[in-house]
């Protein structure tokens, strides 16, 4: 790190509208804290940006002074790339504005906004973007990695609704990107992560959703897990796009619709969602109840914004988290057996395995239509290790890694970039597949010095004529 004297820092501070925090300042620890408590880094400076001008100034400062540079949107990424040691963090949490144009069905979302921020504004007009499943997730990290959730089967991925963006690139310039303006850069940010600059505003196409949807949980005992999971696999193969069903295997939390004796027991929960009204959705959901003995269920109409927050209590800031993930094009009997075996040996009650269902509209675009390439994947499986005591690190991480290795022979050999932890750099080519080389070319054009490297990095490499 370049040593910076106080005069240089003061001059930088004078170029910003938002505050510039140093380690001794009030608010510094809060600004450097991210969702995953395993990440404990201390940047030299945190620029709490109030607008695009601040972002441009911060990018230029980091570049000109040779500082490591990290960008924080929601701070929710499992890898912790939102904060770095001894460098500069661009903190976008002050840029959370969301503007909705209901006539044009467009939403303009600030780079620091969360899914909850955006859902709150768009649902005022019964409109939505196909986001993820946790309201505290940052829009930026989700969208830049591809983004999928409850609406993806009927509306596609988050990036499929992205129609434009404002981005500050490594040269400090603000650029508007779309299919018509700098289309290669626009292609790259739709799944290519934070490799290409700081997105200060996203422009999303909106879709009619809500305000009420049909959603809930149907819960089975793990003793019937094999029968439930095999029937689930067969059921989703012919599912209409308007219905999504995810499988979650964990110990039962104290949900009010479950008998108290079930709390803490191993369960298989099928999380169901449809944007349709109950009279249309409930008949499609009804066959699930025949998969086994139902321990409890809570399915019916609810506000979309409420369903988007339903898992927030199990994904709060401050716990230690470690993930391993596989994509699957199909679930074999052997894969199901591996899932059940490891779900039955979770090291803490907070750990879980979930299978997020894709397909439908999420799989219609060509693999090279966006930087996100996995248009053939049916399930994104995440092994979610979560605990509170650092003394449990080795045990919990070991469980996740052992499961990952055991499931690998039945997986697709690819991975969703947003589920990758900080120790998985070797999997980046798996994350991008045939799109990797094009990403390198875009990186070489817009960030040839790899200023934006504190991410799941796609380095610019050498141009073709350099040996």
Residue 189: partners with Cβ closer than 8 Å, 6 or more residues away: 144, 162, 165, 167, 177, 196, 197, 199, 371
Beta carbons of 434 and 368 less than 8 angstroms apart:
yes
Is the domain of 300 the same as that of 174? no
Residue 94: its pLDDT value, please? 95
> What pLDDT score was predicted for residue 3?
72
Torsion sign across C-alpha atoms 448, 374, 112, 176: positive
- 7-16 long-range contacts (CB < 8 A, ≥24 apart) are 8/65, 9/45, 12/45, 12/57, 12/61, 15/54, 15/57, 15/61, 16/47, 16/49, 16/50, 16/54, 16/57, 16/58
Dist. CA 280–CA 25, nearest whole Å: 56
Residues 292 and 338 grouped into a single domain: yes
Q: Would residue 444 count as lying in a domain? A: no
Residue 445: inside a domain, yes or no? no
The residues, any chain, with a CB within 8 Å of residue 153's CB and separated by 6 or more, are 239, 241, 242, 243, 244, 357, 358, 359, 360, 361, 362
According to DSSP H, which parts of 327-419 are helical?
333-343, 393-407
Per-residue pLDDT reduced to its tens digit, 329-350? 999 999 999 999 999 999 999 9
228 and 179 both lie in a single domain: no
Cβ atoms of residues 386 and 331 within 8 Å: no
- Answer whether residue 339 is part of any domain: yes
- Which pTM was predicted? 0.94
- The mean predicted confidence, pLDDT, of the chain is 95
Q: How many CB atoms lie within 10 A of CB 222?
A: 18
Whether 200 and 238 share a structural domain: no
Same domain, 268 and 399: yes
User: Do 291 and 194 belong together in one domain?
Assistant: no
Tell me, what's the pLDDT at 17?
97
Classify residue 118: in a domain, yes or no.
Answer: yes
CATH of the domain at 47: 3.30.43.10
pLDDT in tens, 193-250: 999 999 999 999 999 999 999 999 999 999 999 999 999 999 999 999 999 999 999 9
pLDDT average, residue stretch 283-306: 96
**pLDDT (average), residues 66-85:** 95
Domain boundary among 208, 229, 262: 208
269 and 204 part of one domain: no
Counted domains in the chain: 3
Check whether residue 119 and residue 222 sit in a common domain: no
Q: How far is CA 177 from the centre of its chain?
A: 22
| Segments forming the whole domain that contains residue 277 | 212-425
Q: Are residues 295 and 333 in the same domain?
A: yes
CATH code of the domain containing 269:
3.40.462.20
| Residues 391 and 270 reside in one and the same domain | yes
Give a yes or no: residue 162 inside a domain.
yes
Count of alpha carbons within 13 angstroms of residue 440, beta-carbon side: 14
Q: In terms of domains, do 75 and 169 share one?
A: no
DSSP assignment letter at 15: T
Residue 127 sits in a domain of what CATH number? 3.30.465.10
- Asked which of 91, 124, 148 is the last residue of a domain, the reply is 91
Beta bridge partners of 358: none
Going 128 to 132 to 137 to 141, the CA torsion angle's sign is negative
Q: How far is CA 302 from CA 39, 149, 276, 335, in A?
A: 36, 17, 11, 34
In this predicted structure, what is the pLDDT of residue 2?
53
Residue 141 domain-assigned (yes or no): yes
In this structure, the answer to whether residues 167 and 218 fall within a common structural domain is no
Residue 272 is assigned to a structural domain of this protein: yes
H/E element, 207: strand 207-208
Where among 208, 238, 267 does a domain terminate?
208
Phi, psi of 139 (to 5 degrees): -60, -40
**Residue 432 domain-assigned (yes or no):** no
């Amino acid at each position: 790190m370049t040593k910076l004297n106080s005069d240089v820092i003061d001059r930088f501070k004078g170029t910003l509208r938002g505050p510039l925090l140093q380690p001794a300042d009030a608010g510094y620890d809060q600004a450097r804290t991210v969702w995953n408590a395993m990440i404990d880094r201390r940047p030299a400076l945190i620029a709490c940006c109030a607008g695009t001008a601040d972002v441009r100034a911060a990018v230029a400062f980091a570049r000109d002074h040779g500082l490591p540079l990290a960008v924080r949107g929601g701070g929710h990424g499992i890898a912790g790339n939102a904060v770095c040691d001894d460098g500069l963090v661009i903190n976008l949490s002050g840029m959370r504005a969301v503007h909705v144009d209901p006539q044009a069905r467009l939403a303009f979302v600030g780079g620091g906004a969360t899914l909850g921020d955006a859902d709150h504004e768009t649902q005022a007009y019964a409109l939505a973007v196909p986001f993820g499943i946790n309201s505290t997730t940052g829009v930026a990290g989700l969208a830049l990695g591809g983004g999928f959730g409850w609406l993806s089967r009927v509306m596609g991925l988050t990036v499929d609704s992205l129609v434009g963006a404002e981005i500050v690139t490594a040269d400090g310039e603000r650029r508007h990107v779309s299919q018509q303006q700098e289309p290669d850069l626009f292609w790259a940010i739709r799944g290519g992560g934070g490799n290409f600059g700081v997105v200060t505003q996203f422009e999303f196409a909106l879709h009619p959703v809500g305000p009420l949807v049909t959603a809930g949980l149907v819960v089975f005992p793990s003793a019937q897990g094999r029968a439930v999971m095999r029937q689930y696999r067969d059921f989703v193969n012919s599912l209409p796009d308007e219905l999504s069903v995810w499988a979650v295997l964990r110990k039962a939390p104290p949900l009010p619709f479950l008998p108290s004796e079930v709390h803490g027991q191993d369960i298989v929960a099928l999380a169901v969602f449809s944007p349709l009204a109950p009279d249309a959705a409930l008949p499609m959901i009804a066959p699930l109840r025949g998969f086994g003995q139902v321990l409890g269920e809570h399915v019916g109409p609810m506000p979309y914004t409420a369903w988007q927050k339903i898992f927030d209590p199990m994904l709060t800031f401050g716990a230690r988290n470690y993930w391993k993930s596989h994509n699957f094009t199909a679930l074999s009997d052997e894969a199901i057996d591996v899932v059940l075996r490891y779900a039955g040996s979770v090291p803490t009650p907070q750990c879980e395995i979930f299978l997020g269902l894709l397909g439908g509209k999420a799989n219609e675009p060509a693999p090279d239509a966006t930087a996100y390439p996995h248009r053939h994947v049916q399930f994104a499986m995440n092994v979610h290790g979560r605990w509170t005591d650092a003394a449990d690190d080795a045990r919990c991480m070991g469980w996740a890694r052992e499961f990952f290795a055991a499931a690998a022979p039945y997986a697709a050999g690819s991975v969703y970039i947003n589920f990758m932890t900080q120790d998985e750099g070797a999997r980046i080519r798996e994350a991008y597949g045939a799109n990797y080389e094009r990403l390198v070319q875009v990186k070489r054009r817009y960030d040839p010095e790899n200023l934006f490297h504190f991410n799941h990095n796609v380095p610019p490499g050498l141009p073709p004529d350099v040996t």
